[in-house]
Structure 1
Amino acid sequence: MTEILTPPTIERLRHELRRRELTVTEVHRLTPHMLRVTLSGPDLADFVSAAPDDHVKLFLATDGGEPEKRDYTPRRFDRAKQALTLDFALHEAGPATEWALQAVPGGRLTVAGPRGSQRISGPIAEWLLIGDETALPAIGRRIEEMAAGTKVTALIAVPGAADEQVFETKAALSCHWLHRPVAAAAEAAPFLAALARLAIAPGTFVWIAAEASVARAVRSYLLEERGHPLPWLKAAGYWRQGQADAHEKIE
Protein backbone atom coordinates (compact mmCIF):
# COMPACT_ATOMS: atom_id res chain seq x y z
CA MET A 1 0.00 0.00 0.00
CA THR A 2 1.27 3.47 -0.85
CA GLU A 3 2.14 5.54 2.21
CA ILE A 4 -0.30 8.37 2.87
CA LEU A 5 1.59 11.63 3.43
CA THR A 6 -0.81 12.95 6.04
CA PRO A 7 -1.51 10.14 8.53
CA PRO A 8 -4.47 10.06 10.89
CA THR A 9 -4.09 11.56 14.33
CA ILE A 10 -5.04 10.03 17.67
CA GLU A 11 -6.14 12.71 20.10
CA ARG A 12 -5.89 11.68 23.75
CA LEU A 13 -8.40 13.24 26.11
CA ARG A 14 -8.41 13.01 29.89
CA HIS A 15 -11.57 12.91 32.00
CA GLU A 16 -12.21 13.44 35.67
CA LEU A 17 -12.13 10.06 37.36
CA ARG A 18 -14.91 9.34 39.83
CA ARG A 19 -16.92 6.39 41.04
CA ARG A 20 -20.60 6.18 40.21
CA GLU A 21 -23.19 4.12 42.09
CA LEU A 22 -25.66 2.84 39.49
CA THR A 23 -28.81 0.74 39.44
CA VAL A 24 -29.62 -2.04 36.98
CA THR A 25 -32.74 -1.13 35.00
CA GLU A 26 -32.76 -3.81 32.29
CA VAL A 27 -31.11 -7.15 31.51
CA HIS A 28 -31.40 -8.63 28.04
CA ARG A 29 -29.82 -11.74 26.44
CA LEU A 30 -28.74 -10.16 23.16
CA THR A 31 -27.32 -13.39 21.68
CA PRO A 32 -26.38 -16.79 23.17
CA HIS A 33 -22.95 -15.44 24.14
CA MET A 34 -23.75 -11.75 24.81
CA LEU A 35 -25.71 -10.27 27.69
CA ARG A 36 -26.76 -6.60 27.65
CA VAL A 37 -27.20 -4.74 30.94
CA THR A 38 -28.52 -1.19 31.23
CA LEU A 39 -27.60 0.90 34.26
CA SER A 40 -29.02 4.21 35.38
CA GLY A 41 -28.72 6.81 38.12
CA PRO A 42 -28.13 10.50 38.84
CA ASP A 43 -24.38 9.87 39.10
CA LEU A 44 -24.38 9.65 35.29
CA ALA A 45 -25.33 13.32 34.91
CA ASP A 46 -21.72 14.29 34.10
CA PHE A 47 -20.66 10.99 32.47
CA VAL A 48 -18.37 11.44 29.44
CA SER A 49 -17.34 8.82 26.89
CA ALA A 50 -15.77 10.49 23.86
CA ALA A 51 -14.60 7.45 21.86
CA PRO A 52 -16.16 4.09 20.93
CA ASP A 53 -13.32 2.06 22.50
CA ASP A 54 -13.39 3.79 25.89
CA HIS A 55 -13.37 1.65 29.01
CA VAL A 56 -15.07 1.99 32.36
CA LYS A 57 -13.96 0.01 35.39
CA LEU A 58 -16.47 -2.19 37.18
CA PHE A 59 -16.07 -2.85 40.91
CA LEU A 60 -17.39 -6.35 41.62
CA ALA A 61 -18.03 -7.48 45.17
CA THR A 62 -16.23 -10.58 46.44
CA ASP A 63 -16.76 -12.81 49.48
CA GLY A 64 -13.93 -11.13 51.32
CA GLY A 65 -11.67 -8.13 50.99
CA GLU A 66 -11.21 -5.83 48.03
CA PRO A 67 -13.61 -5.97 45.06
CA GLU A 68 -12.52 -7.42 41.75
CA LYS A 69 -12.06 -4.80 39.02
CA ARG A 70 -12.74 -5.32 35.31
CA ASP A 71 -12.69 -3.02 32.26
CA TYR A 72 -15.72 -2.82 29.96
CA THR A 73 -16.66 -0.69 26.96
CA PRO A 74 -19.61 1.70 27.26
CA ARG A 75 -21.74 0.26 24.46
CA ARG A 76 -24.22 3.12 24.49
CA PHE A 77 -24.97 6.15 26.67
CA ASP A 78 -28.25 8.05 26.69
CA ARG A 79 -27.70 11.35 28.50
CA ALA A 80 -31.38 12.31 28.50
CA LYS A 81 -32.30 9.04 30.25
CA GLN A 82 -29.06 8.87 32.25
CA ALA A 83 -28.70 5.31 31.01
CA LEU A 84 -25.45 3.44 30.40
CA THR A 85 -25.47 0.19 28.40
CA LEU A 86 -22.80 -2.48 28.85
CA ASP A 87 -22.50 -5.72 26.85
CA PHE A 88 -20.95 -8.77 28.54
CA ALA A 89 -19.33 -11.44 26.35
CA LEU A 90 -20.12 -14.76 28.04
CA HIS A 91 -16.91 -16.56 27.17
CA GLU A 92 -15.39 -17.10 30.61
CA ALA A 93 -16.53 -17.78 34.17
CA GLY A 94 -14.93 -14.67 35.68
CA PRO A 95 -16.44 -12.30 38.27
CA ALA A 96 -17.86 -9.92 35.64
CA THR A 97 -19.59 -12.75 33.79
CA GLU A 98 -20.95 -14.13 37.06
CA TRP A 99 -22.26 -10.71 38.05
CA ALA A 100 -23.94 -10.17 34.68
CA LEU A 101 -25.61 -13.60 34.74
CA GLN A 102 -27.05 -12.85 38.17
CA ALA A 103 -27.99 -9.22 37.45
CA VAL A 104 -31.64 -8.24 37.86
CA PRO A 105 -33.42 -4.86 37.75
CA GLY A 106 -32.82 -3.05 41.02
CA GLY A 107 -29.33 -4.50 41.47
CA ARG A 108 -26.41 -2.19 42.13
CA LEU A 109 -23.03 -1.74 40.50
CA THR A 110 -20.15 0.67 41.10
CA VAL A 111 -18.56 2.01 37.92
CA ALA A 112 -15.60 4.38 37.45
CA GLY A 113 -14.28 6.19 34.41
CA PRO A 114 -13.61 6.41 31.58
CA ARG A 115 -10.24 7.79 32.63
CA GLY A 116 -9.62 9.00 29.09
CA SER A 117 -10.52 8.69 25.42
CA GLN A 118 -8.59 8.31 22.18
CA ARG A 119 -10.28 9.95 19.20
CA ILE A 120 -9.04 8.99 15.75
CA SER A 121 -9.41 11.54 12.96
CA GLY A 122 -7.80 12.66 9.72
CA PRO A 123 -8.01 11.82 6.02
CA ILE A 124 -9.48 8.34 6.52
CA ALA A 125 -11.11 7.00 3.36
CA GLU A 126 -12.30 3.71 4.87
CA TRP A 127 -12.27 1.75 8.13
CA LEU A 128 -11.44 -1.91 8.78
CA LEU A 129 -12.57 -3.14 12.20
CA ILE A 130 -11.25 -6.53 13.35
CA GLY A 131 -12.20 -8.22 16.60
CA ASP A 132 -13.80 -11.01 18.58
CA GLU A 133 -16.74 -11.13 21.02
CA THR A 134 -14.97 -8.92 23.55
CA ALA A 135 -14.47 -6.23 20.90
CA LEU A 136 -18.08 -6.33 19.68
CA PRO A 137 -19.27 -3.51 22.01
CA ALA A 138 -16.57 -1.16 20.70
CA ILE A 139 -17.05 -2.26 17.08
CA GLY A 140 -20.82 -1.94 17.27
CA ARG A 141 -20.65 1.48 18.88
CA ARG A 142 -18.12 2.78 16.33
CA ILE A 143 -20.22 1.53 13.43
CA GLU A 144 -23.40 3.06 14.81
CA GLU A 145 -21.74 6.42 15.51
CA MET A 146 -20.14 6.76 12.06
CA ALA A 147 -21.26 9.54 9.74
CA ALA A 148 -23.61 8.69 6.89
CA GLY A 149 -21.85 7.11 3.93
CA THR A 150 -18.63 6.27 5.80
CA LYS A 151 -17.12 3.12 4.29
CA VAL A 152 -16.44 0.48 6.92
CA THR A 153 -15.66 -3.22 6.79
CA ALA A 154 -15.99 -5.33 9.95
CA LEU A 155 -14.34 -8.72 10.44
CA ILE A 156 -15.76 -10.28 13.61
CA ALA A 157 -15.25 -13.74 15.12
CA VAL A 158 -18.13 -15.26 17.13
CA PRO A 159 -19.08 -18.83 18.10
CA GLY A 160 -21.91 -19.20 15.58
CA ALA A 161 -24.56 -17.61 13.40
CA ALA A 162 -26.84 -16.97 16.37
CA ASP A 163 -24.16 -14.68 17.83
CA GLU A 164 -24.17 -12.29 14.89
CA GLN A 165 -25.54 -8.83 15.65
CA VAL A 166 -27.39 -6.21 13.61
CA PHE A 167 -26.10 -2.64 13.78
CA GLU A 168 -28.26 0.41 13.22
CA THR A 169 -26.05 2.70 11.15
CA LYS A 170 -25.99 5.15 8.27
CA ALA A 171 -22.47 4.06 7.36
CA ALA A 172 -21.75 1.98 4.25
CA LEU A 173 -21.13 -1.25 6.14
CA SER A 174 -19.77 -4.57 4.91
CA CYS A 175 -19.81 -7.10 7.74
CA HIS A 176 -17.98 -10.44 7.64
CA TRP A 177 -18.70 -12.91 10.46
CA LEU A 178 -16.21 -15.67 11.27
CA HIS A 179 -17.71 -18.66 13.08
CA ARG A 180 -15.43 -20.61 15.39
CA PRO A 181 -15.96 -22.25 18.80
CA VAL A 182 -15.20 -20.38 22.01
CA ALA A 183 -12.37 -22.85 22.64
CA ALA A 184 -10.63 -21.48 19.53
CA ALA A 185 -10.92 -17.81 20.53
CA ALA A 186 -7.13 -17.53 20.96
CA GLU A 187 -6.39 -18.77 17.43
CA ALA A 188 -5.48 -16.20 14.79
CA ALA A 189 -5.93 -18.52 11.79
CA PRO A 190 -9.58 -17.61 11.02
CA PHE A 191 -8.71 -13.90 10.90
CA LEU A 192 -5.60 -14.41 8.79
CA ALA A 193 -7.46 -16.60 6.29
CA ALA A 194 -10.24 -14.02 5.94
CA LEU A 195 -7.80 -11.14 5.59
CA ALA A 196 -5.94 -12.97 2.83
CA ARG A 197 -9.14 -12.75 0.76
CA LEU A 198 -9.86 -9.13 1.64
CA ALA A 199 -8.69 -6.13 -0.37
CA ILE A 200 -7.57 -3.16 1.74
CA ALA A 201 -7.84 0.16 -0.06
CA PRO A 202 -5.31 2.99 0.41
CA GLY A 203 -6.37 5.34 3.17
CA THR A 204 -7.93 2.58 5.30
CA PHE A 205 -7.55 2.83 9.06
CA VAL A 206 -7.41 -0.60 10.71
CA TRP A 207 -8.59 -1.09 14.30
CA ILE A 208 -7.89 -4.46 15.95
CA ALA A 209 -8.98 -5.85 19.33
CA ALA A 210 -9.03 -9.51 20.36
CA GLU A 211 -7.13 -11.99 22.53
CA ALA A 212 -3.61 -10.54 22.86
CA SER A 213 -1.74 -13.15 20.78
CA VAL A 214 -4.41 -12.94 18.07
CA ALA A 215 -4.21 -9.15 17.94
CA ARG A 216 -0.41 -9.30 17.66
CA ALA A 217 -0.57 -11.90 14.88
CA VAL A 218 -3.11 -9.89 12.88
CA ARG A 219 -1.10 -6.71 13.35
CA SER A 220 2.12 -8.44 12.21
CA TYR A 221 0.41 -9.90 9.16
CA LEU A 222 -0.95 -6.53 8.06
CA LEU A 223 2.35 -4.72 8.61
CA GLU A 224 4.75 -7.35 7.30
CA GLU A 225 2.77 -9.31 4.71
CA ARG A 226 0.42 -6.63 3.43
CA GLY A 227 2.66 -3.59 3.92
CA HIS A 228 -0.01 -1.61 5.74
CA PRO A 229 1.43 1.68 7.08
CA LEU A 230 1.99 1.65 10.84
CA PRO A 231 0.32 5.07 11.47
CA TRP A 232 -2.86 3.65 9.92
CA LEU A 233 -3.28 0.85 12.43
CA LYS A 234 -4.20 0.52 16.12
CA ALA A 235 -4.18 -2.83 17.93
CA ALA A 236 -4.97 -3.97 21.46
CA GLY A 237 -5.24 -7.23 23.35
CA TYR A 238 -8.56 -7.04 25.18
CA TRP A 239 -7.81 -10.25 27.07
CA ARG A 240 -5.12 -12.91 27.38
CA GLN A 241 -5.84 -16.62 27.44
CA GLY A 242 -5.23 -18.17 30.84
CA GLN A 243 -4.86 -14.84 32.69
CA ALA A 244 -7.51 -12.92 34.60
CA ASP A 245 -8.00 -9.19 34.00
CA ALA A 246 -5.19 -9.06 31.43
CA HIS A 247 -5.17 -6.56 28.59
CA GLU A 248 -2.37 -5.26 26.44
CA LYS A 249 -1.64 -2.21 24.34
CA ILE A 250 0.21 -3.38 21.24
CA GLU A 251 2.58 -0.71 19.98
Structure 2
Amino acid sequence: MANEQTPVTIERIRHELKRRPLTLLEKEELTPHMLRLTFGGADLADFASPGVDDHVKLIFPAEGEEAPVMREYTPRSYDNDAQRLVLDFAVHEAGPATAWAIAAQPGDELTVGGPRGSQVVSGPQEWLLIGDETALPAIARRIEGLEAGQKVTALIAVPGAADEQSFDSAAEVEIRWIHRPEDQAHLVDPILPALAEVELTEGLYAWIAAEATVARALRNVLEERGHPLTRMKAAGYWTRGVADGSDKSIA
Protein backbone atom coordinates (compact mmCIF):
# COMPACT_ATOMS: atom_id res chain seq x y z
CA MET A 1 0.00 0.00 0.00
CA ALA A 2 1.12 3.56 -0.71
CA ASN A 3 0.89 4.60 2.93
CA GLU A 4 3.09 1.77 4.25
CA GLN A 5 6.73 2.62 4.88
CA THR A 6 8.99 0.91 2.37
CA PRO A 7 12.79 1.08 2.61
CA VAL A 8 14.54 3.83 0.70
CA THR A 9 17.61 2.81 -1.24
CA ILE A 10 20.04 5.51 -2.36
CA GLU A 11 22.65 4.42 -4.87
CA ARG A 12 25.47 6.83 -5.65
CA ILE A 13 27.12 6.34 -9.02
CA ARG A 14 30.30 8.01 -10.21
CA HIS A 15 30.82 8.66 -13.90
CA GLU A 16 33.93 9.27 -15.93
CA LEU A 17 34.11 13.02 -16.29
CA LYS A 18 33.85 13.82 -19.98
CA ARG A 19 33.32 16.97 -22.02
CA ARG A 20 31.17 16.50 -25.09
CA PRO A 21 31.10 18.98 -27.98
CA LEU A 22 27.50 19.07 -29.17
CA THR A 23 25.52 20.78 -31.90
CA LEU A 24 22.10 22.35 -31.46
CA LEU A 25 19.64 20.43 -33.65
CA GLU A 26 16.25 21.79 -32.64
CA LYS A 27 14.83 24.66 -30.61
CA GLU A 28 11.26 24.90 -29.34
CA GLU A 29 9.36 27.40 -27.20
CA LEU A 30 7.79 24.88 -24.87
CA THR A 31 5.93 27.48 -22.77
CA PRO A 32 6.28 31.26 -22.38
CA HIS A 33 9.00 30.70 -19.76
CA MET A 34 10.63 27.52 -21.04
CA LEU A 35 12.78 26.77 -24.09
CA ARG A 36 13.54 23.20 -25.15
CA LEU A 37 16.85 22.67 -26.93
CA THR A 38 17.83 19.36 -28.50
CA PHE A 39 21.52 18.69 -29.02
CA GLY A 40 23.28 16.00 -30.99
CA GLY A 41 26.76 14.58 -31.23
CA ALA A 42 28.62 11.29 -31.55
CA ASP A 43 29.91 11.60 -27.97
CA LEU A 44 26.36 11.06 -26.68
CA ALA A 45 26.62 7.37 -27.56
CA ASP A 46 27.95 6.68 -24.06
CA PHE A 47 26.14 9.47 -22.17
CA ALA A 48 24.56 8.29 -18.92
CA SER A 49 22.18 10.02 -16.52
CA PRO A 50 20.47 7.43 -14.30
CA GLY A 51 19.47 9.97 -11.64
CA VAL A 52 16.39 12.04 -12.48
CA ASP A 53 17.95 15.11 -10.85
CA ASP A 54 21.43 14.72 -12.34
CA HIS A 55 23.25 17.84 -13.48
CA VAL A 56 25.47 18.49 -16.44
CA LYS A 57 27.67 21.54 -16.84
CA LEU A 58 27.10 23.69 -19.88
CA ILE A 59 30.29 25.45 -20.90
CA PHE A 60 29.66 28.71 -22.69
CA PRO A 61 32.41 30.29 -24.79
CA ALA A 62 34.00 33.46 -23.47
CA GLU A 63 35.65 36.32 -25.30
CA GLY A 64 39.38 36.90 -25.28
CA GLU A 65 41.22 35.55 -22.26
CA GLU A 66 38.16 35.34 -20.03
CA ALA A 67 37.45 31.96 -18.49
CA PRO A 68 34.48 30.08 -19.95
CA VAL A 69 31.20 30.48 -18.06
CA MET A 70 29.66 27.24 -16.73
CA ARG A 71 26.11 26.60 -15.57
CA GLU A 72 24.38 23.42 -14.37
CA TYR A 73 21.23 21.96 -15.94
CA THR A 74 19.25 18.75 -15.52
CA PRO A 75 18.97 16.60 -18.64
CA ARG A 76 15.31 16.38 -19.61
CA SER A 77 15.88 13.27 -21.71
CA TYR A 78 18.55 11.56 -23.77
CA ASP A 79 18.77 8.89 -26.45
CA ASN A 80 22.09 7.10 -26.86
CA ASP A 81 21.13 5.40 -30.12
CA ALA A 82 19.92 8.62 -31.72
CA GLN A 83 22.79 10.53 -30.05
CA ARG A 84 20.48 13.24 -28.77
CA LEU A 85 20.26 15.19 -25.50
CA VAL A 86 17.30 17.39 -24.55
CA LEU A 87 17.72 20.31 -22.15
CA ASP A 88 14.97 22.67 -20.96
CA PHE A 89 15.96 26.27 -20.17
CA ALA A 90 13.80 28.28 -17.77
CA VAL A 91 13.64 31.78 -19.24
CA HIS A 92 14.08 34.38 -16.51
CA GLU A 93 16.56 37.18 -15.88
CA ALA A 94 18.99 36.81 -18.75
CA GLY A 95 22.16 35.39 -17.29
CA PRO A 96 24.72 33.88 -19.69
CA ALA A 97 22.91 30.54 -20.03
CA THR A 98 19.49 32.09 -20.62
CA ALA A 99 20.92 34.66 -23.01
CA TRP A 100 22.69 31.94 -24.97
CA ALA A 101 19.56 29.80 -25.18
CA ILE A 102 17.42 32.71 -26.34
CA ALA A 103 19.86 33.64 -29.10
CA ALA A 104 20.85 30.09 -30.09
CA GLN A 105 20.03 28.72 -33.53
CA PRO A 106 20.32 25.19 -34.98
CA GLY A 107 23.93 24.57 -35.91
CA ASP A 108 25.34 26.42 -32.91
CA GLU A 109 27.82 24.44 -30.84
CA LEU A 110 28.04 23.99 -27.08
CA THR A 111 30.22 21.86 -24.82
CA VAL A 112 28.50 19.79 -22.14
CA GLY A 113 30.38 18.21 -19.25
CA GLY A 114 29.27 15.40 -16.98
CA PRO A 115 27.30 14.38 -15.14
CA ARG A 116 30.04 13.73 -12.62
CA GLY A 117 27.80 11.55 -10.51
CA SER A 118 24.25 10.34 -9.99
CA GLN A 119 22.10 9.67 -6.96
CA VAL A 120 19.40 7.11 -7.69
CA VAL A 121 16.57 6.89 -5.15
CA SER A 122 14.40 3.79 -5.24
CA GLY A 123 11.93 2.05 -2.99
CA PRO A 124 9.26 4.66 -2.17
CA GLN A 125 5.80 3.90 -3.48
CA GLU A 126 4.55 7.40 -2.70
CA TRP A 127 6.30 10.64 -3.65
CA LEU A 128 5.88 14.33 -2.93
CA LEU A 129 7.66 16.57 -5.44
CA ILE A 130 7.89 20.32 -4.85
CA GLY A 131 9.62 22.74 -7.17
CA ASP A 132 9.61 25.76 -9.41
CA GLU A 133 10.39 26.23 -13.12
CA THR A 134 14.01 25.20 -12.68
CA ALA A 135 12.95 21.88 -11.15
CA LEU A 136 10.54 20.93 -13.93
CA PRO A 137 12.98 18.68 -15.88
CA ALA A 138 13.75 16.61 -12.77
CA ILE A 139 10.09 16.51 -11.70
CA ALA A 140 9.05 15.41 -15.19
CA ARG A 141 11.64 12.64 -15.26
CA ARG A 142 10.53 11.33 -11.87
CA ILE A 143 6.84 11.36 -12.80
CA GLU A 144 7.41 9.71 -16.16
CA GLY A 145 9.63 7.02 -14.64
CA LEU A 146 7.19 5.84 -11.97
CA GLU A 147 5.29 2.60 -12.40
CA ALA A 148 1.70 1.50 -12.01
CA GLY A 149 0.79 1.25 -8.34
CA GLN A 150 3.00 4.15 -7.34
CA LYS A 151 1.57 7.53 -6.38
CA VAL A 152 2.97 11.03 -6.75
CA THR A 153 1.77 14.46 -5.68
CA ALA A 154 3.57 17.39 -7.29
CA LEU A 155 3.37 21.03 -6.19
CA ILE A 156 4.85 23.14 -8.97
CA ALA A 157 5.15 26.94 -8.88
CA VAL A 158 5.12 28.73 -12.25
CA PRO A 159 4.18 32.24 -13.42
CA GLY A 160 0.84 31.29 -14.99
CA ALA A 161 -1.45 28.72 -16.59
CA ALA A 162 0.40 28.93 -19.91
CA ASP A 163 3.51 27.59 -18.15
CA GLU A 164 1.87 24.32 -17.10
CA GLN A 165 3.13 21.12 -18.74
CA SER A 166 1.74 17.61 -19.13
CA PHE A 167 3.54 14.34 -18.41
CA ASP A 168 2.84 10.72 -19.31
CA SER A 169 3.05 8.27 -16.43
CA ALA A 170 1.80 4.83 -15.43
CA ALA A 171 1.59 6.03 -11.83
CA GLU A 172 -1.28 7.76 -10.04
CA VAL A 173 -0.41 11.44 -10.52
CA GLU A 174 -1.82 14.55 -8.89
CA ILE A 175 -0.30 17.89 -9.93
CA ARG A 176 -1.19 21.12 -8.18
CA TRP A 177 0.03 24.07 -10.21
CA ILE A 178 0.74 27.17 -8.14
CA HIS A 179 0.60 30.41 -10.10
CA ARG A 180 2.70 33.29 -8.83
CA PRO A 181 4.51 36.17 -10.56
CA GLU A 182 8.07 35.48 -11.65
CA ASP A 183 9.34 38.18 -9.29
CA GLN A 184 7.95 36.16 -6.36
CA ALA A 185 9.91 32.99 -7.18
CA HIS A 186 12.09 33.59 -4.12
CA LEU A 187 9.10 33.55 -1.75
CA VAL A 188 7.85 30.41 -0.03
CA ASP A 189 4.42 31.83 0.88
CA PRO A 190 2.64 30.92 -2.41
CA ILE A 191 3.50 27.23 -1.91
CA LEU A 192 2.61 26.86 1.77
CA PRO A 193 -1.22 26.60 1.44
CA ALA A 194 -0.92 23.74 -1.05
CA LEU A 195 1.66 21.98 1.09
CA ALA A 196 -0.58 22.25 4.16
CA GLU A 197 -3.20 20.18 2.34
CA VAL A 198 -0.81 17.30 1.60
CA GLU A 199 -1.06 14.31 3.91
CA LEU A 200 2.41 13.20 4.99
CA THR A 201 1.95 9.46 5.04
CA GLU A 202 4.44 7.13 6.68
CA GLY A 203 5.95 5.87 3.45
CA LEU A 204 6.13 9.20 1.61
CA TYR A 205 9.43 10.38 0.14
CA ALA A 206 9.65 14.15 -0.36
CA TRP A 207 11.86 15.82 -2.96
CA ILE A 208 12.24 19.61 -3.08
CA ALA A 209 14.10 21.89 -5.50
CA ALA A 210 13.65 25.64 -5.83
CA GLU A 211 15.36 28.89 -4.87
CA ALA A 212 17.66 28.07 -1.94
CA THR A 213 15.75 29.92 0.80
CA VAL A 214 12.44 28.51 -0.48
CA ALA A 215 13.78 24.95 -0.53
CA ARG A 216 15.19 25.31 2.97
CA ALA A 217 11.91 26.73 4.31
CA LEU A 218 9.88 23.91 2.76
CA ARG A 219 12.24 21.33 4.17
CA ASN A 220 11.85 22.89 7.63
CA VAL A 221 8.06 22.82 7.35
CA LEU A 222 8.13 19.10 6.58
CA GLU A 223 10.47 18.45 9.49
CA GLU A 224 8.25 20.46 11.84
CA ARG A 225 5.31 18.34 10.72
CA GLY A 226 7.24 15.25 11.77
CA HIS A 227 8.41 13.98 8.41
CA PRO A 228 11.76 12.16 8.84
CA LEU A 229 14.86 13.65 7.25
CA THR A 230 15.77 10.19 5.98
CA ARG A 231 12.78 10.36 3.65
CA MET A 232 13.38 13.72 2.04
CA LYS A 233 15.86 15.59 -0.10
CA ALA A 234 15.98 19.37 -0.55
CA ALA A 235 18.13 21.31 -2.98
CA GLY A 236 18.54 24.98 -3.82
CA TYR A 237 18.77 25.05 -7.60
CA TRP A 238 19.43 28.78 -7.57
CA THR A 239 19.99 31.60 -5.12
CA ARG A 240 18.41 35.00 -5.53
CA GLY A 241 21.02 37.66 -6.33
CA VAL A 242 23.90 35.18 -6.66
CA ALA A 243 25.20 34.24 -10.09
CA ASP A 244 25.43 30.46 -10.40
CA GLY A 245 24.42 30.19 -6.75
CA SER A 246 23.12 26.77 -5.74
CA ASP A 247 23.03 24.41 -2.79
CA LYS A 248 22.34 20.91 -4.05
CA SER A 249 22.15 19.40 -0.57
CA ILE A 250 20.34 21.45 2.06
CA ALA A 251 20.93 20.09 5.57
TM-score normalised by length of structure 1: 0.95
Q: Which residue of 1 aligns with 2:134?
A: 134
Q: Which residue of 2 aligns with 1:55?
A: 55
Q: Which residue of 2 aligns with 1:241?
A: 240
Q: Which residue of 2 aligns with 1:229?
A: 228
TM-superposed CA distance for 1:61, in Å, is 1.4
Structure 2: stretches of 5+ with no match in the other structure: none
- What letter is aligned with 1:192? L
Structure 1: stretches of 5+ with no match in the other structure: none
Percentage of pairs with the same residue:
61
The answer as to whether partners of 1:7 and 1:231 remain within 8 angstroms in 2 is: no
Deviations 1:211-238 (A, max 9, x none): 00000000000001x1101100000000
Counting matched residue pairs gives: 247
What RMSD, in angstroms, separates the aligned Cα atoms of the two structures? 1.4
Runs of 4 or more above 3 Å deviation: 4-7
In 2, distance between residues paired with 1:171 and 1:197?
A: 21
Deviations 1:167-209 (A, max 9, x none): 1221211000000001000000111121112222220000000
In 1, distance between residues paired with 2:157 and 2:170?
A: 23
The answer as to whether partners of 1:7 and 1:232 remain within 8 angstroms in 2 is: no
Deviations 1:58-82 (A, max 9, x none): 0011233111000000000112211
Deviations 1:122-164 (A, max 9, x none): 3x13000000000001001111111233201110000000000
In 1, distance between residues paired with 2:155 and 2:226?
A: 19
- What letter is aligned with 1:69? M
In 1, distance between residues paired with 2:95 and 2:80?
A: 30
TM-score normalised by length of structure 2: 0.95
Does residue 21 of the first structure (1) align with residue 21 of the second (2)?
A: yes
TM-superposed CA distance for 1:6, in Å, is 6.2
Give the match's secondary structure for 1:210: strand
In 2, distance between residues paired with 1:151 and 1:5?
A: 13
The answer as to whether partners of 1:206 and 1:234 remain within 8 angstroms in 2 is: yes
TM-superposed CA distance for 1:5, in Å, is 7.3
In 1, distance between residues paired with 2:22 and 2:149?
A: 36
In 1, distance between residues paired with 2:43 and 2:235?
A: 30
The answer as to whether partners of 2:5 and 2:203 remain within 8 angstroms in 1 is: no
Give the match's secondary structure for 1:80: coil
Give the match's secondary structure for 2:88: strand
In 2, distance between residues paired with 1:182 and 1:133?
A: 10
Q: Which residue of 2 aligns with 1:69?
A: 70
Written as runs of structure 1 = structure 2, the 5 A alignment for 1:26-175 is 26-64=26-64, 65-122=66-123, 124-175=124-175
Give the match's secondary structure for 1:17: coil
Written as runs of structure 1 = structure 2, the 5 A alignment for 1:2-17 is 7-17=7-17
